């Protein structure tokens, strides 16, 4: 099934030395992900030995329920499924926003948007922010990041700690690539460009341990290939085809690691920044609300030692937990300000080594979105959701009397609003939101950037940012709250 991925001389330039053997036998959908077999005790003991590599694969706009590993009725993700089968799959994961920049700032720092201050489009992470790549770098790792989404570009602070942080060079056009953009915008290149850059980075590490971050975008852009199954012509069907195409890129990364003899020296992590709506609540896309279809994302952690069978953590967790967990598994120092928690105790509980820790199960999980994030002259329009036990409440500050409350245990798609009938639960969650909204930004400075025309063009290709001809009403640069010597509130001020 991968054979068409190998028909370009350009592609062989970057990968031939590693994958020529694969090219000979490339009629497959699922890469060989076998690593030495072991049990959970061996996995947890890996931190005591040599440093292991980490490959962090972020698939933009990927909702968990569209992966066959999560029970979907289409085989959209054979390679991701294989990683789940030999690793740890987290069944219920909440992202911290339905917009990439806010979500990724939280994912990398382990802090909710309320604490990062990254909420609207000029906001950026300041130099004070401690990123996981900096922790790896200080531990002697080579660090590389390859991205195609402009919201995680260098100027927004996401490159901190990376030796190499690049948007990949676009390959020549491929006849087997199909594009279906819900809007009129199209991002140049494909995820194959990211995969090739990943191979080049790994070849340059010269045996040193490495952290490699790959940010795939073709699911966001509804890009697929002739190698992908034809599920149909509906936008939802094409989304599934694009997942299969990106899954094939995941398979190539696995094959590259195996061919280099690195598969059993590498942790592989699959995650996403947010999901995608298909009219469950009246619209298509993301970054408009905080319903489950844009918030539930996958998280799979495949260790160098293959668990047989793999583990499933059923308790609800969040993207802010990802790096506290990975750093714990590798025995590296924790992020200093993280609100997320290490999920190692839940992994141990899933393996039967201990009881489920109730403090992790009962804590509230938050998500945030300012619905005016891309409009420079609009007033803020913030909303927040809180998950606690099985209940989720959505609160829009501009409409405080129109809360939505759902019992996810019986209404996983969030269709029956209980806000008018469950007053005690609503009051409890409202108190959680009130306390959460009073928190200030962690850093001693707020930070914003001006988006230059090159970045603006790339973001417009994603369907974001003002068109070039449209000016701010005052002709001024969008301004975030001014830097202050003490932490500031973001939302919820009296």
Please write the tens of the pLDDT for every residue from 47-105.
Answer: 999 999 999 999 999 999 999 999 999 999 999 999 999 999 999 999 999 999 999 99
- pLDDT at residue 203 is higher than 80: yes
Per the DSSP assignment, residues forming a β-bridge with 224 are 178
Alpha carbon distance 189, 171 (integer Å): 6
In CATH terms, 363-436 corresponds, of 3.30.1120.10, 3.30.70.590, 3.40.50.2000, 3.40.50.300, to 3.30.1120.10
Rounded to two decimals, the pTM is 0.87
- Report yes or no: 192 and 249 within 8 Å, Cβ to Cβ: yes
- Band of the pLDDT at 173, cuts 50, 70, 90? low
Burial profile 410-430: b = 16 or more Cβ within 10 angstroms, e = fewer: eeeebeeebbeebeebbebbb
Q: What is the rounded average pLDDT of the residues 118-137?
A: 93
The predicted pLDDT at position 475 comes to 29
Token couple for 144: 């590389």
- Report yes or no: 120 and 435 within 8 Å, Cβ to Cβ: no
Please write the tens of the pLDDT for every residue from 322-340.
Answer: 999 999 999 999 999 999 9
- DSSP string for 66-113: GSGGGT-SS---HHHHHHHHTSEEEEEEE-S-SSHHHHHHHHHHT--H
CATH class of 31-360: alpha beta
- Report yes or no: 148 and 189 within 8 Å, Cβ to Cβ: yes
- Band of the pLDDT at 183, cuts 50, 70, 90? low
- pLDDT at residue 21 is higher than 50: no
Token couple for 418: 């209980």
Lowest mean pLDDT among 313-322, 423-432, 461-470: 461-470
Q: Closest Cα partner for 461 from 102, 189, 169?
A: 189
- pLDDT at residue 485 is higher than 50: no
Alpha carbon distance 332, 330 (integer Å): 6
Distance of CA 401 to the CA centre of its chain: 32
The predicted pLDDT at position 474 comes to 29
Token couple for 460: 């417009």
- Report yes or no: 287 and 98 within 8 Å, Cβ to Cβ: yes
Cβ neighbours around 288 below 10 Å, total: 17
Alpha carbon distance 270, 69 (integer Å): 12
- DSSP string for 11-75: HHHHHHHHHHHHHHT---SS------EE-HHHHHTGGGSS--EEEEEEETT--GGGSGGGT-SS-
- pLDDT at residue 192 is higher than 90: yes
How is the beta sheet containing 142-147 ordered, strand by strand?
164-166, 142-147, 210-216, 53-59, 266-271, 296-302, 88-94, 311-318
Please write the tens of the pLDDT for every residue from 387-440.
Answer: 999 999 999 998 888 999 999 999 999 999 999 999 999 999 999 999 999 999
Q: In this structure, what are the phi and psi dihedrals at residue 457, rounded to the nearest 5 degrees?
A: -65, -40
Q: Which residue has the higher pLDDT, 263 or 375?
A: 263
Helix (H) / strand (E) containing 383? strand 382-388
Q: Where along the chain do its domains lie?
A: 31-360, 363-436
- Report yes or no: 140 and 163 within 8 Å, Cβ to Cβ: no
The predicted pLDDT at position 166 comes to 96
The predicted pLDDT at position 2 comes to 40
- Report yes or no: 212 and 198 within 8 Å, Cβ to Cβ: yes
Please write the tens of the pLDDT for every residue from 256-314.
Answer: 999 999 999 999 999 999 999 998 888 878 878 999 999 999 999 999 999 989 999 99
Share of the chain above pLDDT 90, in %: 69
Tokens 């592989």 belong to 268
């Amino acid at each position: 099934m991968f054979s068409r991925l190998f028909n370009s001389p350009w592609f062989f330039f970057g990968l031939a030395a590693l994958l020529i053997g694969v090219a000979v036998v490339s009629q497959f959908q699922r890469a060989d992900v076998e690593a030495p077999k072991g049990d959970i005790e061996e996995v947890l003991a890996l931190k005591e030995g040599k440093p292991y590599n980490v490959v962090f694969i972020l698939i933009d706009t990927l909702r968990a329920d569209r992966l066959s590993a999560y029970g979907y009725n289409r085989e959209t993700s054979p390679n991701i499924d294989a990683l789940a089968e030999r690793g740890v799959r987290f069944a219920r994961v909440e992202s911290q926003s339905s917009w990439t920049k806010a979500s990724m700032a939280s994912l990398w720092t382990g802090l909710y948007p309320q604490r990062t201050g990254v909420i609207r489009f000029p906001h950026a992470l300041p130099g004070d922010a401690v990123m996981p790549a900096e922790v790896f770098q200080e531990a002697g790792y080579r660090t590389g990041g390859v991205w195609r989404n402009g919201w995680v570009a260098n100027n927004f602070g996401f490159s901190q700690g990376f030796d190499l942080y690049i948007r990949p060079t676009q390959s020549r056009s491929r006849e087997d690539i199909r594009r279906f953009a819900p809007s009129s915008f199209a991002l140049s290149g494909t995820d194959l460009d990211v995969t090739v850059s990943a191979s080049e980075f790994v070849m340059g590490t010269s045996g040193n341990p490495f952290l490699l971050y790959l940010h795939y975008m073709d699911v966001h852009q509804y890009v697929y290939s002739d190698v992908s199954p034809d599920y149909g012509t509906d936008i939802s069907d094409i989304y599934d085809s694009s997942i299969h195409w990106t899954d094939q890129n995941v398979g190539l990364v696995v094959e590259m690691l195996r061919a280099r003899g690195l598969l059993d020296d590498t942790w592989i992590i699959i995650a996403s920044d947010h999901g995608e709506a298909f009219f469950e609540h009246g619209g298509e896309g993301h970054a408009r609300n905080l319903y489950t279809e844009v918030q539930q994302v996958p998280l799979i952690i495949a260790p160098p030692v293959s668990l047989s069978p793999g583990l499933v953590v059923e308790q609800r967790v969040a993207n802010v937990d990802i790096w506290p967990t990975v750093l714990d598994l590798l025995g590296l120092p924790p992020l200093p300000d993280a609100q997320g928690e290490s999920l190692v105790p839940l992994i141990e509980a899933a393996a039967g080594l201990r009881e489920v820790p109730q403090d992790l199960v009962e804590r509230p999980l938050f998500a945030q979105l300012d619905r005016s994030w891309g409009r420079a002259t609009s007033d803020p329009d913030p909303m927040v959701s809180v998950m606690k036990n099985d209940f989720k409440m959505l609160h829009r500050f501009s409409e405080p009397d129109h809360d939505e409350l759902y019992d996810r245990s019986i209404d996983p798609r969030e269709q029956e609003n209980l806000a008018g009938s469950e007053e005690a639960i609503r009051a409890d969650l409202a108190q959680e939101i009130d306390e959460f909204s009073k928190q200030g930004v962690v850093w001693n400075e707020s930070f914003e950037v001006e988006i230059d025309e090159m970045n603006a063009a790339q973001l417009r290709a994603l369907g974001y940012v003002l068109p070039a001809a449209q000016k701010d009403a005052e002709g001024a640069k969008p301004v975030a709250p001014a830097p202050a010597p003490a932490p500031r509130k973001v939302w919820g001020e009296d």
